[in-house]
Amino acid sequence: MKKKIKMGIMNMSKKFMVVTMVFAMLFSYFAKIVNVFAESSTTKLTVTFRGDNANYGTVQYSLDDGASWNDIIENTENLNITVTGDNLRLKIVPNANYSIDYAGIEMRHDDNVVGGLSTIGFESSNGYSVPSNVQSVKLEQVEFSYSLNNNDPEMPELNATAKVNISVSGEEFEYDNPWSDDATDFRFGINASDEIRRLGKDEVNYIRENDKIVGLINKNEINYQYNYNNEGTVTFHIQTQWDDVITTLKINNVVYPTPKTKADLVEAFHERAIKFDVANVPYAETYDIEVIGGKQTQNEKIMGNFGWTYDPNTNEYSDDDKIPNGNLEFVKAVYNNITYNSIEEVNAAGEIFEWNDGKKGTNDPTGEAMFPTGTVLTLRLVPDTGYQLTSFDLNGMPFEPGEEVGLYTFTIGGGNWHLGASFNEVNDEVEANSENIKSGNITIAKNGHKFENGTAKLEVNDVISMSFDRVEEFENTAKEEGYELENYLDISLYNTIYKGGSKDVNGKYETWDTPIENIDDKATITLELENDMSGKELAIVHEKHNGNEITGYELIDATYNEEDNTITFETNSFSNYAIVSKDATEKVEYTIKDASGNEIIFKNNDGHNYILTLVDYLSFSKEELVLKYDVDPDEYDLVFNTIKEKTGKYGDLLSFYEIIVTDEHDREVNNGPFTIKIKMTDKMKKYNTFKIMYIDDELNIEKPIDLKVEGDYLVGSIPHLSKYILTGSITENPQTIDNIMNYISILGLSMIGLIGTGLYTKKKLFNK
């Protein structure tokens, strides 16, 4: 019996344990997967090689911790790689006889520079492991340097050695150790050596003749395969910085000529450095080179240069060089009586001229210019729309604004200098010169200016004279609606650009003004009246003009604000106007419905009959829109996607309305505000938050207006009637509870359950 009990217990326990262990393992594995999410993500990889260095080595990447590698053999931008955790690895593999030159290589993780590249493992077998969560890796200016070892078949037999001792002195030329790492001002080369040897640079440079390596320069030793050149002399190549001058050069105590005059220095200017040869130096086993020099004085400086950038956030340029809200263009340069009219002509004219354009909104937003001193340079410097050049000093160099808009001419001075151009946001303005108008303001829709630079200026003047016929036309138009004439105004719109930040005696900026007759979208103009118009209702009569002749007269609705005695109206055309008035009558409320049950409610007092037309363009298919509304099928997708992109943050796109109210004369009403009541469709009913926003013809949207749900309607107030976008979203108060107590409760209850079942099992077994 005991044996049976024992067998029974053992069998039950074994089964229990096996099943429990299997289940627990499965669940742990499942829980690990659920709780420790291994997220995969996409990383963008960019690799660029300096010049033709892709011929001298390869970059490799691995996605399986180094088990296999993929080659990148040319410049690659934003390669999308699916990465899990930190399993992206990079290697740089130079070709035979090449090594990685880390000096110029740069790596960024998500635009953060990574330092110490030579120590992080690019050359190890497993490569460099990119940390997880890095979304963008840029490995740029990859470069390799050539090196031979003594066993390499290309290595020449070197049978002659000469030592070079250099002492360098003078302003900014003095160094204790001519081979120190800081000594960069003076460089030398010899005979046909490919590279100009920099003082202190600790690496081998090759001397090649007819592409064949014939010697090495290694620190201060020059090793040759055979002796110098056939005449028993050597030629030294000397290089200094572009603004240096060597006053004395001695080699083995013999003085050699150096460029010292401005003309000589300009001639010696190559690749942004002063370079010249010292030929016919007798061969010697030791060359004692003594150099005395320093910086060119301000009067001696042969070149002037400046840079600019459209990137306001870069640390590589000072604020004086940043012009994020302006635009700089080359117009003309004159040097030594030769005129250069284009950038191509400048860059083709020789090494002393250089112009590199920066490109706004690209990865290359910086520009640079260099000219010999004395060059007369003309630039075009203009602000973006909505901005003005409020100060401009060119480091104190005098400049002349030209007749043409945005042109400035000045003479290049020597050295590095800064634009000192400041572009600031400026509102469109109104210049009220009329006796009847105190002040005003104008609002033009974004991108409705039709000009690319500067701001708008509205000038309001009194009309000086007008023919009797024209006066009669104004009066008749006013009288049709019961108005009387108050005064005539000449309203002109200009595109205005400040001239170099300079101000006149009245403290106003001097400007270039270009007249504008029409704009696409209507501008809203508000004028503060000199005379009190309380108790009156005002309107505007507009004399329409096509640039050549008068084409008619129209009455435009206006809003009079008694509180500040202003009149506000909309127009997109600028010519003669008249303010007209009549006694104010009480406005009545109109509720206009369309066939779908949508409503518009507004107040007016002219007693007309109104019709509401509310079209939802999204209720039509593309084909219907093309046929019915003459929509360009090629533009349909672009417009639709642009609207979705711009309104996406407010919710799902529900409708694209055009809302028009007309009277019996087919004249549009636009004296707001208007209460809009949109009949909800079934599609709208799943949302709880609605917004409506005005959209102009350029697809710019204004600040959204909330609509409330009232029964079957969405209700809100809009300032005018036009095109509107309706969006819907579901606003929920997020659940921010901490579930730890739930887990603890589950743990407690399940422990109780486990103990309970354990006790039951034990009891069962002992009862047997």
- Cβ proximity to another protein: between 232 and 673 the closer is 673
- Cβ proximity to another protein: between 39 and 403 the closer is 39
Under 8 Å between Cβ of 715 and 692: no
- Cβ proximity to another protein: between 152 and 706 the closer is 706
Report helix, strand or coil for 389.
Answer: strand
Least spacing, CB of residue 560 vs another protein, in Å: 21
Under 8 Å between Cβ of 58 and 93: yes
- Cβ proximity to another protein: between 289 and 676 the closer is 676
- Cβ proximity to another protein: between 131 and 257 the closer is 131
Least spacing, CB of residue 110 vs another protein, in Å: 8
Least spacing, CB of residue 632 vs another protein, in Å: 32
Per-residue three-class SS string for 145-188: EECCCCCCCCCCCCCEEEEEEEEEECCCCCCCCCCCCCCCCCEE
**What is the distance between the alpha carbons of residues 326 and 200, in angstroms, rounded to a whole number?**
43
Burial class (CB in 10 A: 0-12, 13-18, 19+), 443: middle
Per-residue three-class SS string for 640-677: HHHHHHHHHHHCEEEEEEEEEEEECCCCECCCCCEEEE
Least spacing, CB of residue 260 vs another protein, in Å: 48
Tally of CA atoms within 13 A in the half-sphere of 268 that contains its CB: 26
- Cβ proximity to another protein: between 29 and 629 the closer is 29
Characterize the bridge pairing of strands 610-616 and 652-663.
antiparallel
Residue 513 Cα to chain centre, angstroms? 29
Under 8 Å between Cβ of 161 and 220: no
- Cβ proximity to another protein: between 595 and 737 the closer is 737
Q: Is the peptide bond before 673 cis (omega within 30 degrees of 0)?
A: yes
Least spacing, CB of residue 688 vs another protein, in Å: 7
For 72, the enclosing helix (H) or strand (E) is: strand 70-72
Q: Which DSSP string do the residues of 87-144 spell out, in sequence order?
A: --EEEEEEPTTEEE-GGG-EEEETTEEE--GGGTTTTSTT-EEPPTT--EEEEEEE-E
Characterize the bridge pairing of strands 233-241 and 273-282.
antiparallel
Least spacing, CB of residue 758 vs another protein, in Å: 7
Least spacing, CB of residue 654 vs another protein, in Å: 17
Report helix, strand or coil for 764.
Answer: helix
- Cβ proximity to another protein: between 336 and 733 the closer is 733
Under 8 Å between Cβ of 679 and 713: yes
- Cβ proximity to another protein: between 125 and 736 the closer is 736
**What is the distance between the alpha carbons of residues 506 and 730, in angstroms, rounded to a whole number?**
56
| DSSP H helices in 579-632 | 622-629
- Cβ proximity to another protein: between 23 and 629 the closer is 23
Least spacing, CB of residue 292 vs another protein, in Å: 46
- Cβ proximity to another protein: between 315 and 467 the closer is 315
Least spacing, CB of residue 47 vs another protein, in Å: 23
Least spacing, CB of residue 31 vs another protein, in Å: 5
Enter the tokens of residue 182.
């800081």
How many Å is the Cα radius of gyration of the chain?
40
**What is the distance between the alpha carbons of residues 127 and 111, in angstroms, rounded to a whole number?**
21
Amino acid (1-letter code) at residue 491:
I
Token pair 């819907």 is found at: 728
Least spacing, CB of residue 616 vs another protein, in Å: 23
- Cβ proximity to another protein: between 348 and 751 the closer is 751
| List of E strands, 219-272 | 221-224, 233-241, 244-251, 254-256, 269-270
**What is the distance between the alpha carbons of residues 418 and 369, in angstroms, rounded to a whole number?**
11
Least spacing, CB of residue 86 vs another protein, in Å: 13
Least spacing, CB of residue 768 vs another protein, in Å: 10
- Cβ proximity to another protein: between 36 and 96 the closer is 36
Least spacing, CB of residue 317 vs another protein, in Å: 17
**What is the distance between the alpha carbons of residues 168 and 185, in angstroms, rounded to a whole number?**
10
- Cβ proximity to another protein: between 358 and 716 the closer is 716
Least spacing, CB of residue 678 vs another protein, in Å: 15
Beta carbons within 8 Å of 3's beta carbon, 6+ residues apart:
none
> Which DSSP category does 41 fall into?
E
Q: Which residues bind another protein (CB under 8 A)?
A: 16, 19-20, 23-24, 27-28, 31-32, 35-37, 39, 112, 133, 649, 688-689, 691, 704-706, 716-717, 731-741, 743-744, 746-747, 749-751, 753-754, 757-758, 760-761, 764
**What is the distance between the alpha carbons of residues 549 and 564, in angstroms, rounded to a whole number?**
36
- Cβ proximity to another protein: between 143 and 311 the closer is 311
Least spacing, CB of residue 446 vs another protein, in Å: 16
**What is the distance between the alpha carbons of residues 639 and 700, in angstroms, rounded to a whole number?**
11
- Cβ proximity to another protein: between 389 and 600 the closer is 600
Burial class (CB in 10 A: 0-12, 13-18, 19+), 314: middle
Enter the tokens of residue 592.
């206009």
